[in-house]
Amino acid sequence: MRVLVVGANGQIGHQAVEKLKEKGHDPVAMVRKEEQVAQFKDKGIETVLGDLEKDFSHAFENVDAVVFAAGSGGSTGADKTIIIDQEGAIETVENAKEADVKHFVIVSSLGADAPKKAEQAKHYMYAKHRADQHLQASGLNYTIVRPGMLQNEAGTGKVKLFEGDPEVANVPREDVAAVLAHIVDKNQPANKIYNLIEGDTPIEETI
């Protein structure tokens, strides 16, 4: 499948691109700056320039699936969180609808189901909540992944991917990326929301 990865320059997005390539798919890495292109082209991965704060509808041409892994990052203010994590995600959903994308996978966050309960980063939880709501109401086939506390250590290849009430725990970014690639590869969009934390189940056996 031809898979557009939005936020490909981010830690999760970058690894998701590589893992999709390893599975035999044709990832398209959407990046914001020209200097971010070479890291993918050197590996034979297609890129497209697109800025979530501008019109990026051109990036969806001949795309079968979308992975939205973009984020404003922890060092930006609430305004960027709303612009990227909320409005950027919403516009990505709308562009995907126009392009008749078959499966939309989005990286959300544990706690996005109940942003009022958030004790910190409440604006982030609301942004993720609104983006998830918009995707659910879009009519697109979707999978929402809500990872726990993101860690930078190497992935274990094993996780706990489950529906229902969240459990607060850590999860390596590499394992999140591997789960995203696995979900796309299975190509069985069931309009579900999954919580994702470290666990004992091999990723290939999660769904």
3-state helix, strand, coil in the chain (%, to 5): 40, 25, 40
- Look up the CATH number of domain 2-205: 3.40.50.720
Task: Return per-residue pLDDT of the chain as tens, 207 residues.
Answer: 999 999 999 999 999 999 999 999 999 999 999 999 999 999 999 999 999 999 999 999 999 999 999 998 766 778 899 999 999 999 999 999 999 999 999 999 999 999 898 888 899 999 999 999 999 999 999 999 999 999 999 999 999 999 999 999 999 999 999 999 999 999 998 999 999 999 999 999 999
Catalytic residues: 124
- What is the SS3 assignment for 91? helix
What's the predicted TM-score (pTM) here?
A: 0.96
Which amino acid, residue 33?
Answer: K
Q: Which of 63, 67, 56 is nearest to 5 (CA)?
A: 67
Amino acid at 62: N
How many Cβ atoms sit within 10 Å of the Cβ of residue 200?
8
Let me know if 1 is exposed, middle or buried by CB neighbors in 10 A (0-12, 13-18, 19+): middle
